[in-house]
Amino acid sequence: MSADADSAAQTPFDFTAMPPWARFSRDGTGDPAQAAFLAGAALTSLDTLLRSDQPWAGTWRRRQALKCAAAAARLAGRPEEEGALRDSFAMTRPGDDPGPGGRILLAWRQLAAPFWRPLDADALRGVADQLGQPWHDRFGEVVEEQTATVWSRAAPAAAAATAARVVAIAPNAEILAFWLADWTLAKHLRWPAPLPLLIGQVHKPVFHAGGERNRRIRPGDDPFEAFERAVFLAYAQAAVEAWLLASRLAGRAARLIAVAPRLRAKGAADVVQRLLDDESLSASWPGPGGKMSRWALRRLFERLVELDAVRELSGRDTFRIYGL
């Protein structure tokens, strides 16, 4: 394990730092100013966490990607939930096609990378293909505008405007609109890298108008202010949920880091680092640099489960998957 990881493990992040009232932002508000304030407060706390460089940040980012991919798959009318999407990624060999659901997950994992990746029209076209979204050449203009603009609006408002712009160009590109909204938010906040957030709330009450029909609020709806307010509340709720997920993962990671010195298998340190860096690992993973056989790797995972340092995530007796 790296010295940076050891240092971060010795100084745990203070998860009491989020204002208590921000945790209750899930109760909707009809006041746009209040909605914007809640989003700003929750995202400010999340900003502190994102910049703290925790050793388990990779797992957290990719768990957020999995959550958002499941919401995107549902929005696309696909049947895959989180477990099936995890399988499609973990059970696919490098270079093989993971299928439509797996490609959706790959797009959100790309957004969740721990560093900024160049995003131009060609790269965005690749994202659209992964998400199963139509392509329009004007999408590249949206990215160029966000890269070149001196921003005059709040980050969540800019994210909402980006999503609305994408759907104005192509009404059936809603999933891509949500992907670009998170990218825009991170650009405006100057985060170290984007974090998947917004689409994870799309099936929740903040994006529903209520009333008898309970219609879902969409990018491009008229008036725009209704969608913008929903985005504010969604980011407030998403930030709180991401914070709470990070708090849970931090405890599990601390346990894994604590037991790591007791592991004697060759290559165990690499496995521990990979568990901190990624959302899950298959028991049939080739192993760290060929240092471990599959049998040795399975035994190591079983030992980590016995030590309460990782969990088996698939619920199966075969083709098992492990993670924090």
CB 267 within 8 A of CB 292: yes
Region of poorest pLDDT, from 13-17, 19-23, 159-163: 19-23
- H or E element in which residue 104 lies: helix 99-111
234 pLDDT more than 70: yes
Q: Which of 54, 72, 104 is nearest to 243 (CA)?
A: 54
Q: pLDDT value at position 287? A: 59
pLDDT band at 301 (very low <50, low <70, confident <90, very high): very high
Share of the chain above pLDDT 90, in %: 62
Give the tens place of pLDDT for each residue, 102-149: 999 999 999 999 888 889 899 999 999 999 999 999 998 888 887 665
Q: pLDDT value at position 147? A: 66
Mean pLDDT of the chain: 87
153 pLDDT more than 80: no
Residue 311 backbone phi and psi in degrees, to 5 = -120, 150
pLDDT band at 23 (very low <50, low <70, confident <90, very high): low
Distance CA 105, CA 121 (A): 20
259 pLDDT more than 80: yes
Q: pLDDT value at position 250? A: 95
Six token digits for residue 283: 């028991």
Distance CA 238, CA 26 (A): 9
pLDDT band at 31 (very low <50, low <70, confident <90, very high): confident
303 pLDDT more than 50: yes
- H or E element in which residue 198 lies: none
Query: The tokens 């998403």 sit on which residue?
Result: 238
Task: Walk across the sheet containing 281-282 and list its strands.
Answer: 281-282, 321-323, 311-312
Cα–Cα distances in angstroms (integers) from residue 300 to residues 192, 202, 262, 271, 293, in the given order: 33, 39, 11, 9, 11
Q: pLDDT value at position 145? A: 80
Q: pLDDT value at position 132? A: 96
pLDDT band at 7 (very low <50, low <70, confident <90, very high): very low
Distance CA 299, CA 289 (A): 17
152 pLDDT more than 80: no
Distance CA 312, CA 281 (A): 10
Q: pLDDT value at position 189? A: 94
Helix and strand counts by DSSP (H, E) for the chain: 12, 3
Share of the chain above pLDDT 70, in %: 87
Instruction: State yes or no: cis peptide before 194, omega within 30 of 0.
Output: no
Region of poorest pLDDT, from 255-264, 285-294, 304-313: 285-294
User: What mean pLDDT comes out for the span 171-176?
Assistant: 97
0.85 exceeded by the pTM? yes
User: What mean pLDDT comes out for the span 266-271?
Assistant: 88
Query: The tokens 């998400």 sit on which residue?
Result: 131
Contacts 24+ apart (CB under 8 A), 205-208: 205/28, 206/26, 206/28, 206/230, 206/233, 206/234, 206/237, 207/234
